[in-house]
Amino acid sequence: MRKTKKHTVYSIDEKNKIIKQYLDGEIGYLDCLRKYDLGGRSVLAKWKKQYLAYGTVVDRRGRSNPGGKRKGRPKKVDLNSLSKEELISIIEVYDDIKKVMAYLRQPKRSITSSLS
């Protein structure tokens, strides 16, 4: 059995409805937090900021900044669909990685043994 209580997950439409109620003055800030069991003050503030900026609440879970690199494991690449130049660049990257790994595996020389 869970010891902690999990917060409700809301869809984009539900978030928009909640934030509209808050902005229209139908419900107060703390009442909104209590009624909809939001995680904290920052949740409602974030939704409000997104709603005012974009006209809707944005679901950005698992995404980095727009146009930025995505987090997580890279997608698998179908090598058959790549051009010859792209394949060569991938092979060069693998070769560079192999060289670095070979260097790191070499035993370290101590400074004192080389001085005597």
Per-residue pLDDT of the chain (116 residues; tens, 9 = 90+): 557 777 678 888 999 999 999 999 999 888 888 888 887 788 888 889 989 988 888 876 655 555 556 667 777 878 888 899 999 998 999 999 999 999 888 887 776 655 55
**DSSP calls for 51-104:** HHHHSS----TT--STTSPPPSSPPPP-GGGS-HHHHHHHHHHHHHHHHHHHHH
Position 71 in a domain: no
Is the residue at 42 inside a domain? yes
In a domain, residue 95? The reply is: yes
The answer to whether the pTM exceeds 0.75 is no
In this structure, the answer to whether residues 16 and 50 fall within a common structural domain is: yes
Together in a domain, 50 and 83? no
Identify whether 61 is part of a domain: no
Domain count of the fold of the chain:
2
Classify residue 102: in a domain, yes or no: yes
State whether 49 and 16 are in the same domain. yes
Q: What is the domain extent for residue 100?
A: 79-109
Do residues 51 and 19 touch, judged by C-beta distance below 8 A? Answer: yes
